[in-house]
Chains A and B, each alone.
Chain A
Amino acid sequence: MEEVLSRIENGTTIDTIAGELAMNRSTLLAMIEFLVDEGYLERVEMRCSCSTRDLCEQCRGTDTGSEMAVYALTPKGAGMVERLKS
Chain B
Amino acid sequence: MKLGVEERWDLIDRISKETVTFGVYRHTLKDAIGELTIKPMTGIPVAIAILYGFWSVFGSFAGFFTDGFFVRLFDAYWLPWLQAVFPGEGGWLYAIMVDAGGIESGEFVLSSNCLESFGVLTSGLFVAIGVVLPAILIFYLMLAILEDIGYMPRLAVLIDTMLHKIGLHGYAIVPTILSLGCNVPGVTATRILETKKQRFIMMTLLAIFIPCGAQIGIMQDVVPDLMGWILLYLIIGYFIFGYILNKVIPGRAPEFLIDVPPYRRPMLSNIGKKVLGRVKGFFMVALPFVMLGCAIVGVFYQLGVIRFLGDLLAPIFVGWFGVPAETAGPLVAAFLRKDLAVAQLSVIEMTKYQMITAVVLVSIYFPCVATFVMMLKEGLKELIGALAVLAVTVFLYGGLIHLIGKLLGVA
Write the residues of chain A forming the contact surface with B, with a CB cutoff of 8 angstroms. Answer: 1-2, 8-15, 17, 23-24, 26-27, 29-32, 34, 41-42, 44-50, 54-55, 57-62, 64-65, 67-75, 78, 81
A-B contact pairs, 25 of them (CB 8 A): A8-B257, A10-B161, A10-B256, A23-B13, A24-B16, A24-B22, A34-B9, A44-B192, A48-B188, A50-B188, A55-B185, A57-B277, A58-B182, A58-B184, A59-B188, A60-B277, A61-B144, A64-B147, A64-B153, A64-B261, A69-B259, A71-B258, A72-B255, A74-B254, A78-B254
B167-181 residues at the A interface, CB under 8 angstroms: 169-171, 174-175, 178
Residues A13 and B258 in contact, CB atoms below 8 Å apart: yes
Contacts of B277 in A (CB 8 A): 57-58, 60
Instruction: State the Cβ distance, B242 to closest chain A Cβ, in Å.
Output: 15
Contacts known (A1-B6, A24-B17); A13 close to B192, Cβ less than 8 A = no
B252 within 8 A of A: yes
Residues A58 and B188 in contact, CB atoms below 8 Å apart: yes
B128 within 8 A of A: no
Residues A57 and B280 in contact, CB atoms below 8 Å apart: yes
B247 within 8 A of A: no
Residues B257 and A10 in contact, CB atoms below 8 Å apart: no
Residues A59 and B256 in contact, CB atoms below 8 Å apart: no
Partner of B255, one of A14, A23, A73: A73
Partner of B192, one of A1, A27, A62: A62
How many A-B residue pairs lie within 8 Å, measured between CB atoms?
A: 155
Contacts known (A10-B256, A13-B38, A24-B17); A68 close to B261, Cβ less than 8 A = yes
Say what secondary structure dominates the interface of chain A: mixed
A23 and B16 CA atoms in complex are apart in Å by: 10
Partner of A32, one of B38, B257, B274: B257
Contacts known (A13-B259, A54-B284); A64 close to B152, Cβ less than 8 A = yes
Partner of B254, one of A49, A59, A73: A73
Instruction: State the Cβ distance, B195 to closest chain A Cβ, in Å.
Output: 9
Residues B252 and A55 in contact, CB atoms below 8 Å apart: no
A51 and B17 CA atoms in complex are apart in Å by: 47
A44 and B156 CA atoms in complex are apart in Å by: 14
A36 and B6 CA atoms in complex are apart in Å by: 16
Instruction: State the Cβ distance, A76 to closest chain B Cβ, in Å.
Output: 11
B225 within 8 A of A: no
In the complex, besides A46-B171, A65-B150, 5 extra interface pairs with C-beta distance below 8 angstroms are A10-B161, A44-B192, A58-B277, A73-B256, A75-B252
Instruction: State the Cβ distance, A81 to closest chain B Cβ, in Å.
Output: 8
A59 and B97 CA atoms in complex are apart in Å by: 33
Contacts of B160 in A (CB 8 A): 10-11
Instruction: State the Cβ distance, B272 to closest chain A Cβ, in Å.
Output: 12
Contacts of A23 in B (CB 8 A): 13
Query: Which of A11, A15, A57, A75 gathers the greatest number of chain B CB atoms within 10 Å?
Result: A11
Contacts of A41 in B (CB 8 A): 257
Contacts of A68 in B (CB 8 A): 153, 259-261
Contacts of B12 in A (CB 8 A): 27, 30
Residues B258 and A14 in contact, CB atoms below 8 Å apart: yes
Instruction: State the Cβ distance, B86 to closest chain A Cβ, in Å.
Output: 32
Instruction: State the Cβ distance, A65 to closest chain B Cβ, in Å.
Output: 5
A46 and B280 CA atoms in complex are apart in Å by: 23
A54 and B6 CA atoms in complex are apart in Å by: 48
